[in-house]
Chain A
Amino acid sequence: MAKVPVRFTLNDAEVALFVDPGANLLDVLRRGAGDLTPKHGCGQGTCGACTVRIGGEVHLACLTLAEAAEGQRIETTGGLANGAELHPLQRAFMDGFAAQCGFCTAGMLMAAKTLLDRSPNPSRDEVAEAISGNLCRCTGYEPIIDAILTAAAQMQGRAVG
């Protein structure tokens, strides 16, 4: 079966590659585009480890038909830092022990960034809702919610309490 061409931007870089028809975007990002930050946890939309942003909104790469990414703007945690300068969310996750095994972290950060883009000053409940599609088995979520709130405060220039 012939492969089909797909083009999209990945973290502001133009990507053009050939994919198997029917392939999912997660495989294409990982094996095709070499961005290993989204993870495969379930392949069924349950865990959120493959969460990426498409057009600024969170999507699950494992359930996204690769061809549907044509012409889209895709962001992953691979593009979150600005060079060597970490995003405030990354810094807050580090300082706040918001990752243990690290497998859910990349997806969790995409969900968190999407929340803060839309709602710079979220409540604790809003944070919990925003990461409700991202499962974590290590932390019990509280350090993650704390870290997102800390990052939000930092990005607002507020004192962190």
Chain B
Amino acid sequence: MTSIEFRKDLFANERDDTLNEIGKPTIRQDILGHVTGRTPFYDDHLFDGLLHMRAVRSPHHHARIRSLDTAAAERMPGVRRVVKPGDVPNNLNTLLSLIGFGKDDEPLLSGQKVSYKGEPVCAVIADTEAQARAAVAAVRVDWEVLPHVLDVEEALAPGAPSVNPTYPNNTFDYHERYDHQKLRFGDVQAGFAQADHIIEAEYQMSPIEQAPIETCGAIAAPEQNDRYVCHTNTQALFFSLGTTAKLLNLASSRLHFIGGTAGGGFGGKVDSIVEPMAVLGAVLTGRPVKFAWDRPEEMQVGAPRGAERWRIKDGVRRDGRIVAREFTGFFDSGAYTRLSSYAIIKGVGHLPGPYSIPNVAANVYCVFTNRTPATAMRGFGITGVDFSIEVQMDRVAEAVGMNPIDLRILNAYRDGDMKAHRRVAKNTALIECCQVAAGKAGWAISSESTAASSLVGGGEGARGTIPETVTDQEGLIGARRAGRVTDTAPARTGTGRVAAGHAGVAIVAAPPQREDMQIAADRIGHRMGSGPGAVPPPVAPRPSGPVPARPAASAGPVPPRGSITPPPGFAPPQAPPTPPSVPVPYPTYAAPPPAPPQPPAPASAAPYAPDQPFSRGVKRPGASPFLSGTRRR
């Protein structure tokens, strides 16, 4: 039997041991249904007259659709309807548009071109699954096969095939400005200069399919009162409902989604594709329609954990202290964004791992390739880079001739340390984990390591402060494809500096959520002020300040300004370059996790006047009309 050991000697005074449930065995509340086979999964809801929908999919990685001929399929026995791209009322979406992050980039059914193998171009609804399969085989698509790109760095090259028309440069746009997410903390070049060893390595992860035993599927049926019921195994019920409402331009009040039980998901059931397809089928036929992936579809088009490539460069002192760490990361998003853009925000907030390193820089790219779109899977955004970091730690230990556990304890973050994303570390426990693991494994560690504690020494001196930080503006959207930027690593030379600031002074808690629950720019993330408790007012955008001179090595034509629109509240930090000692109010080098990094524009001054009833999902500046939990009045 699995046994859990509770180490109540550790952090005893931080814990309340009067808890009634935590730490005690319990029986799952849904287990009786599982062992009797009575748990109702979506497909256990039986409908008379159920129709079956199947998709026609691309056999190519990248191809233009010259024509789609469904005439023969429409005449096949049992076929009720062929669903084409034009049948989707609002046929372009990105999942995170529900929280106002990213541009719509993915059709539900693709009418112009396909960008990955298995991309759906139309669907057949028939009386039986076999009839639907036969009709799918009878659909004729005239493909113009296009060159494809399957490697993240090849996709960044100026001549690479352009995968996703919404992001023609093959990179997601961060902050409407850069082709990557930046993290800058201190001065890594200065750190490398102080180091006795430089350790560089590259790590590559493959995509991983979640492979739930129950494949993704949904059954939708017309309900009374002009509504549609949808039984689905989604892991994100209201996300799926909002996405369906948007794609089908249906009021969310007309959608009755029933979920709650998934036969395994692991992140693979959040992409909200089967739900809008099934509901669309029910809308078009007036009958119950099931749309479910078969096993090969689950493996081929079910979005996996995306592949990642990381290059890590560490500067290490002879004593094992890591003084600088630089990351260059590439997330293979596949053909569309789905959740990869967000995975990077999450991953960059996690860097440089659970270690106190005074100088950190990262450039992380969300790259579009002609592979299956990637999505969520168990800690996505974190697990890949954590693997890389820990293998790197072993390499560092080898380079300096140190016990790898001693090296980790030496560099481990402690309570009070300032992390690279400018939050103070608390409840840290890496040191204690290392000590216990070493003990369990019979691995000898030094007396200093044995005596170390997460509670002692953290935040002392420079450990607790935000250092003066070197910034740059390399990697503007489009510059790489135009050949003006080739290096993907963080710039060697900074073009600006942000003054040092201390945690207690510079970080101010976000104001509480406003009463009407509207997401507002001024309550997202944190602000750096000039004094304790000061929250500076929002700064007006500076649309066209002069671009600071680049170092000669990377000098190139200045990108057209029209292509870059800083969001409101965003100020380019070094225009003109700021003297090092003057605090700059709005640093742009770190996204404010966990909130979305592109705050929607604040509501305009004019009073809001809806032109459609609330429930139809109104357009309002800066607010997603489909956002669950946002009250719109």
Contacts and interface: CB of A to CB of B under 8 A. Distances in A.
In the complex they form, whether A and B have CB atoms below 8 Å apart is answered with yes
- Tell me which of A37, A102, A143, A146 has the highest count of chain B C-beta atoms within 10 A of its own C-beta: A102
Given A43-B294, A44-B295, A76-B37, A31 B213 contact: no
Contact residues of A: prevailing secondary structure: loop
Interface in A71-107: 76-78, 80-81, 86, 89-91, 93-97, 99-106
B31 A101 contact: no
Contacts of A89: 35
Given A94-B31, A99-B35, A103-B41, A137 B264 contact: yes
A44 B36 CA distance: 24
A142 B37 CA distance: 21
A42 interface: yes
Contacts of A135: 213
Interface string B23-44: 0000110111111111111011
A47 B35 CA distance: 18
B35 A105 contact: yes
Given A100-B264, A109-B37, 8 more contacts: A80-B36, A99-B28, A101-B263, A103-B41, A103-B264, A106-B37, A135-B213, A137-B211
Contacts of B32: 94
14 contacts: A38-B37, A40-B43, A41-B214, A41-B295, A78-B36, A94-B27, A94-B28, A94-B32, A99-B35, A101-B264, A102-B261, A103-B264, A109-B35, A142-B2
Given A41-B215, A93-B35, A36 B264 contact: no
Which 8 pairs of residues, A with B, have the shortest CB-CB distance?
A: A37-B37, A103-B263, A102-B34, A106-B37, A90-B35, A42-B295, A77-B37, A99-B34
Contact of B30 (A37, A38, A86, A102): A102
A151 to B, nearest CB: 11
Contacts of B264: 100-101, 103, 137-138
B207 interface: no
Given A41-B213, A42-B295, A105-B34, A137 B43 contact: no
A86 B31 CA distance: 12
B41 A39 contact: yes
A49 interface: yes
A133 to B, nearest CB: 13
B46 interface: yes
A130 interface: no
A94 B1 contact: no
A61 interface: no
- The residue in B40, B215, B263 that gathers the most chain A C-beta atoms within 10 A of its C-beta is B263
Contacts of B280: none
A86 B213 contact: no
A28 interface: no
B37 A105 contact: yes
A78 B37 contact: yes
A136 interface: yes
A46 interface: yes
Contacts, number: 108
Given A93-B35, A94-B27, A137-B266, A104 B2 contact: no
Contacts of B295: 41-44, 46-47
Nearest to A49: B213
Which has the most chain B C-beta neighbours within 10 Å: A44, A80, A94, A146? Answer: A94
B344 interface: no
B33 A102 contact: yes
A39 B27 CA distance: 23
A10 to B, nearest CB: 13
B262 interface: yes
A43 B217 CA distance: 15
B28 to A, nearest CB: 7
Contacts of B213: 39, 41, 47, 49, 101, 103-104, 135-137
Interface of A: 31, 34, 36-44, 46-47, 49, 76-78, 80-81, 86, 89-91, 93-97, 99-106, 109, 135-138, 142-143, 146
B567 interface: no
Nearest to A96: B1
Contacts of A80: 36-37
Contacts of B33: 102
Contacts of A96: 1
B302 to A, nearest CB: 13
B43 A102 contact: no
Contacts of A101: 34, 212-214, 261-265
Contacts of B41: 39, 103
Interface in B384-406: none
A142 to B, nearest CB: 7
Nearest to B26: A97
A153 to B, nearest CB: 12
Contacts of B39: 102
Contacts of B211: 137
Contacts of B1: 96, 146
Contacts of A104: 213
Given A46-B295, A143-B2, A102 B46 contact: no
A103 B214 contact: yes
Contacts of A100: 28, 264
A46 B213 CA distance: 10
Interface in B42-82: 43-44, 46
A136 B212 CA distance: 9
B260 to A, nearest CB: 12
A91 B35 CA distance: 8
Contacts of A43: 294-295
Contacts of B36: 37, 77-78, 80-81, 86, 90
B215 A95 contact: no
Interface in B206-221: 210-215
A76 to B, nearest CB: 7
Contacts of B43: 39-40
Contacts of A31: 46
A105 B262 CA distance: 13
Contacts of B34: 93, 99, 101-102, 105
Contacts of A77: 35-37
Nearest to A77: B37
Interface in B1-18: 1-2
Nearest to A149: B1
Nearest to A134: B213
A157 to B, nearest CB: 20
Contacts of B37: 36-38, 76-78, 80, 105-106, 109
B37 to A, nearest CB: 3
Contact of A102 (B27, B263, B266): B263
Interface string B435-474: 0000000000000000000000000000000000000000
Contact of B35 (A36, A39, A46, A94): A94
A48 to B, nearest CB: 9
B262 A99 contact: no
Contacts of A38: 37
A31 B294 CA distance: 18
A91 B31 CA distance: 10
A39 B34 CA distance: 12
